[in-house]
Amino acid sequence: MELIFLGTGAGAPSKGRNVTAIALTMLNERNSIWLFDCGEATQHQILRSSIKLSKLEKIFITHLHGDHIFGLPGLLSSRSFQGGETRLTVYGPVGIANYIRTSLAVSGTHLKYPLEIIEISDETVFEDADFKVICGELDHGIMSYGYRIEEADKTGALDAAGLAALGVKPGPIFKELKEGKMVTLEDGTVVDGSRFIGPTKKGRIIAIFGDTRAAPNELMIARDADVIVHEATFGAEMGDVACEYMHSTTIGAATLAKNAGAKRLIVTHISSRYNREDNRELVAECQSVFPNTEIATDFAIFEL
């Protein structure tokens, strides 16, 4: 599982950063990719990455400001041109369906794959046997959400060596034992599979935030996360400006990560007033509160 940052700027594209788009690749987990936000020129950024649109399964939109959605119609169209045939689901605030359908209709775009659009309001956005996605409303002057992605816990590894000592050979019987079942061997020996399963591996938790200033739901979304992705549009010295424009500072993002008991923080959505040389100072501000902080740049890849 990896996070690939396709755009890490705020408001408008700059020479150093494109606007917001983050890919969560889960090729080993479910052979698919999820995209969080789709700012202008996201499909151009994808051309410079390892991402294949045919693998795109879900798009989660945090809010309807242009720097988070202006790339969406073009990307949906290109996925069709490039042979995408599997269902694609887009989640987002009320209004996202009208935006997409109007854009496609006015441009005469016909998709060759089924497109599902879900306007979110409930706390649980998506859930299956492997993943659960929860959303929480933020504070940005426009409906803006943060998403909490929870991976299901994994059953512990089977103790193959211990079973071999009992004379149990690999084969279909291993599947039953892995499920914790009682299995009777040919010689009549009864083996309790649950005794040969290692500790459960806890699923990962990822919190990805839309634009916001400090909000009550932030802690719920971020609590005990393995990684938080949070905007830090402004440096610490611009706290009043950040609050006025309903954005966050480096210190605000780091304080959330600390209070949430998170393991890791990645800050993004950086104002164009800061250049690459400023990255070190912005990270240092975060690290003064939450040491395990990194700053995202376009095309940066973070393994989870």
Active site residues: 67
How far out from the chain centre does Cα 9 lie? 17
In 3D space, the residue among 126, 121, 118 whose CA is nearest the CA of residue 143 turns out to be 121
Q: Are 158 and 196 in contact (CB under 8 A)?
A: yes
Helix (H, G, I), strand (E, B) or coil at 211: coil
> What tokens appear for 155 in the block?
């059953």
Q: Are 228 and 289 in contact (CB under 8 A)?
A: no
Read off the amino acid at residue 189. Answer: T
Q: Enumerate residues 6+ apart whose C-beta is below 8 A from 50.
A: 4
Q: Which residues are annotated as a binding site for Zn(2+)?
A: 63, 65, 67-68, 140, 211, 269
> What tokens appear for 102 in the block?
């109007």
Read off the amino acid at residue 255. Answer: T
Q: Which residues of 283-294 are buried (b: 16+ CB within 10 A; e: fewer)?
A: bebbeebbeebb
Q: Enumerate residues 6+ apart whose C-beta is below 8 A from 236.
A: 249, 250, 251, 285
